[in-house]
Amino acid sequence: MNPTPFCPAYPTPRRHKASGLLMFFSARRSWLDALYERSYRMQMGEVHLPGLDLYMVNEPALVRQVLQNADGNFPKSALLGEALQPLLGDSIFTTNGAQWQRQREMMDPAFAQARLNVAFPVMREATDAMLARLAALPDGAEHDLEVEMTHVTADIIFRTIFSSPMTGPDAHRVFDAFSRFQALVPRLMLPSLYGKRWLRWPWDAWRSRRAAREIRGLLETLVRPRYEAHRAGCPATRQDILASFLDARDPDSGEPFSFDALVDQVAMLFLAGHETSASALTWATHLLARAPDVQARVHAEVTAQLGARPPELGDMKALPLTRNVFRETLRLFPPVGFMARQTTHGCPMRKKQVPAGATVVVAPWLIHRHRDLWPEPDAFNPDRYDSDASREALKQAYLPFGMGPRVCMGAAFALQEATLILAQLVRHHRLEAVPGHVPQPVGRLTIRSANGVRLRLFQRKDPVEAGA
């Protein structure tokens, strides 16, 4: 008989919809705090604020209408772009329309460096470095896995962009700066939602710009010498994503990226390439620690496939349970829990007329836990990916990487990276929950834990040690 599935903690939704004022103060800490019980069942909801008409869509057909965006009516929200501008500038993540299309065409060739066969050796090197750091810890010691998952994913994307590893001090600086930056995003966006920008605290805006400068400063020191060498006509010595960005040309003007535009794109790729994976991997370690039966099965799968040898690219397809653990983590804790779009012209949705300029939100957090779309929506059950009962939900209501023209370009990269990291982590360590520690999800730019994810790590004496 299978054990009862583990249901991880998440913010208890309010019984009833909050007033506008209460919603304002709740969402300043986390978007999740503004949700109420009906949010997890509704097909479409609406909130009318002094400065904004906001519509939340959960119905799969409406989600496709917004994200497939065939008529160009749902570009990314200007409010989100404004909040991210200090960090990401006018990058492909924040732009829309013709500007976004030109940037996408310039960047597409660079992603040849992120092909799985090219990137796998880099992933394995960074994962080996992670294992070395964890092996140096006292056996059974408590450790915040959020910090380590951020380090290893940042190291992987760092090596992919720059052909060099990320050192510990740099990783911790980025983790700290980005934690501060994203905690401030709701505080900076909410006054605009209410049409009261004057409610923004200058101190919050200053702190946000300072955190962004810390991250961009690190990237600029790496980009500048190679940018100047490229302009001087020096031959490239490395074939990585930065080299491809340096060679990119605007399809209309033939001009390359300026220095600032280059840093914008590198910042976007660096942050998007590691923060979302770090968020999901952190939650995956929490789920495995709280579901020791699943962890034991993952360990058995990995050791049966790998034995004592190093992992190879072809092994990743032979680890279906490990991969499904990550897929189920993405369902329960989608890194980007809320995606905001803005209507350019009015349109009908579920017999309502959504006006031009309205904000339409697609919330993977809600869709992935929708009571009418998923069996046992709050349970951690990686076996659902092999179940007929979940087949329709997976087809209609699973969108951790988005969908449509702006679907995440790094989805395959992230899945392979996560499968490798989880396989090697469980192969070499047993993860054990810390009694009394319950991670508290907060929704900001990504879904993180307000109090970290603390686990005990016990090193296995032998990679092929049986059992958990």
Does position 26 have pLDDT exceeding 60, yes or no? no
Please report the pLDDT score of residue 466 as a whole number.
Answer: 40
The tokens of 429 are what?
């360590």
Whose CA is closest to 393, among 412, 376, 416, 417? 376
Whose CA is closest to 363, among 31, 74, 13, 26? 31
Binned at pLDDT 50, 70 and 90, residue 24 comes out as low
Regarding predicted confidence, which is higher, 31 or 307?
Answer: 307
Please report the pLDDT score of residue 318 as a whole number.
Answer: 97
Does position 171 have pLDDT exceeding 80, yes or no? no
Q: Kindly state the average pLDDT of the residues 174-190.
A: 75
Concatenate the DSSP letters of all residues of 180-225 into one string.
HHHHHHHHHHHHHHTT-GGGS-HHHHHHHHHHHHHHHHHHHHHHHH
Asked if 155 contacts 171 with a C-beta cutoff of 8 angstroms, the reply is yes
Q: Kindly state the average pLDDT of the residues 331-351.
A: 91
Q: Kindly state the average pLDDT of the residues 31-55.
A: 84
What H or E segment, with its residue span, contains residue 354?
strand 352-354
Q: Kindly state the average pLDDT of the residues 390-412.
A: 89
Please report the pLDDT score of residue 228 as a whole number.
Answer: 94
What is the percent of the chain where pLDDT is above 70?
90
Most confident range, picked from 182-186, 326-330, 388-392: 326-330
Listed in sequence order, the residues at least 6 apart from 209 whose beta carbon sits closer than 8 Å to its beta carbon are 86
Does position 66 have pLDDT exceeding 90, yes or no? yes
Q: Is 390 helix (H, G, I), strand (E, B) or coil?
A: helix
Please report the pLDDT score of residue 7 as a whole number.
Answer: 92
Please report the pLDDT score of residue 370 as a whole number.
Answer: 95
Determine which of 18-27, 135-144, 224-233, 305-314 has the lowest per-residue pLDDT on average: 18-27
Does position 193 have pLDDT exceeding 80, yes or no? no
Binned at pLDDT 50, 70 and 90, residue 225 comes out as very high
pLDDT in tens, 234-291: 888 888 889 888 998 888 888 999 999 999 999 888 888 888 999 999 999 999 999 9
Determine which of 126-130, 163-167, 329-333 has the lowest per-residue pLDDT on average: 163-167
Does position 120 have pLDDT exceeding 60, yes or no? yes
How open is the CA angle 163-308-138, to the nearest 5 degrees? Answer: 75
Regarding predicted confidence, which is higher, 181 or 249?
Answer: 249
Query: CB-based burial of residue 50 (10 Å sphere; 0-12 exposed, 13-18 middle, 19+ buried)?
Result: exposed
Q: Which contacts (CB < 8 Å, 24+ apart) does range 101-106 have?
A: 102/250, 102/251, 102/252, 103/265, 105/251, 106/245, 106/248, 106/249, 106/250, 106/251, 106/257
pTM, two decimal places: 0.91
Domains in the chain, please, with CATH?
Answer: 20-459 (1.10.630.10)
Determine which of 202-211, 246-255, 399-408 has the lowest per-residue pLDDT on average: 202-211
Most confident range, picked from 138-152, 283-297, 433-447: 283-297
Please report the pLDDT score of residue 224 as a whole number.
Answer: 94
Asked if 317 contacts 117 with a C-beta cutoff of 8 angstroms, the reply is no
